[in-house]
Structure 1
């Protein structure tokens, strides 16, 4: 019995040491790769932004923080860029996060200079189901958002859209209601807050003019 206890203690000690070493290794790896991952994300975001606002010559991050409430109710700092061409504001680019079917959906969204209409969006990262939810990346779905009013989107099933609501109505992806809802919900949740923050900072007007 004593030998068994000694063996168990020795094996347990080795397991504890191995667990600690693995934890330290993972922490060191995350510390080393974390900044690089964030840089790559920022580069991807601005690259996608260029596709949404091709007239922009530069994407300038705002110097002061833009605080918004996340979907979980917690305050977070939004990533917002001012898109400019010849020192003129041509639009706004920002990142929003939705709660998808498989995991979080990170989107880069562009609005016009007055922040009254959407220019479009693209997907920064997503783990949605191939062939279903990942169709949020496809042009036929994304194009519905172009020209839509900020913060006034509604999601309907195929064939339910009314002609007078075509600008604000988004037709859901067949078989992927959760993913479709995640995109629309993220837009409606974050965009009015961002617009309000930009107005408070004097970066856009309170009407339809920048």
Structure 2
């Protein structure tokens, strides 16, 4: 799967799946983040991705219930570099709901990267998923703005500095559901190879379940989400 997209400024890009060979790159990119970016990613200080975390981030991606996509932008003629990573993970106790996150490199924030990446991710979301259930830091309004663009948003503030958020997703059009609206990659993109994906400062962040399942299940899902980077 390779889909061509364009950023707000017209920059050419394409979207590809995360692969199991990307573990080392993922770990290195995370280590390059600032402490604040890491805090915004996980809602807590996390300095390095452990082997267990990388197993969730990479090995658990199955393309069915856990979907992770990388956006590679053209940085010079016919040269494409990974600049963002987004994922959806279906909740095991609520098959209609999924957690969502996007990570965008600092230099590429504010250029429509996450918007372009999410347009593809939403079309490839797990079958039957029509709701996002997640958490967002109160000091991350960009993430809330992104979530609002995906559908009808409701949130709950428990006073901890973290919003519990639910988004009812817009239904896919017939063309989107059948794939007829998806642009094919150009020859240059297809021949550019598939670069390893980044883990970088999120332009927006949405994480962890708050309104799904019993306490034990929520804890298990939160633990899994804390190792899964996922938003413009």
TM-score by length of 1: 0.35
**Greater length-normalized contact order (CA 8 Å, ≥ 6 residues apart):** 2
Asked which structure has the greater CA Rg, the reply is 1
Q: TM-score, normalised by structure 2?
A: 0.32
Q: Which has the higher helix share?
A: 1
